[in-house]
Amino acid sequence: MPKLPQFSGRDDVKILQHFGWVSVRQRGSHIILVKDGHNATLSVPDHKAVAQGTLRGLIRSAGLTVEAFVEVSRQI
C-alpha cells in the first residue's frame, strides 16, 4: 500500500472536488461533500493535518484509489 503524504483538510477537499465532489456546507470543524450518483456523504475534518487512516477511509468512501488521489494531489 503506498504511503500517503500529509494533507490538510482543505487540500483534501480541493483534491476531492477534482473528482466531482461538491462542498455543500461546513458543519463545525468538518466540511461536508456530496456527489451525484453516490450514496456516500464525505465529512472531511478541517484540520491542519488529517490522520492517515481517516484520509484512507475518505478515499475508499469516495470510490477512489490511493494512487489516483496522490496523482491528482501532485497536479494541484
Cell numbers standing for residue 46: 478541517
**pLDDT tier at 2 (50, 70, 90 boundaries)?**
low
Asked if 39 and 31 count as a contact pair (C-beta separation under 8 A), the reply is: no
Q: pLDDT (tens digit, 9 = 90+) per residue, 9-64? A: 999 999 999 999 999 988 789 999 999 999 999 999 999 999 999 999 999 999 99
Asked if 12 and 44 count as a contact pair (C-beta separation under 8 A), the reply is: yes
DSSP one-letter code for 29: T
**pLDDT tier at 76 (50, 70, 90 boundaries)?**
confident
**pLDDT tier at 3 (50, 70, 90 boundaries)?**
confident
- Say which CATH architecture domain 9-75 belongs to: 2-Layer Sandwich (3.30)
Q: How far apart, in whole angstroms, are the C-alpha atoms of residue 23 and residue 71?
A: 21
CA angle, residues 4, 30, 28, in degrees to nearest 5? 155
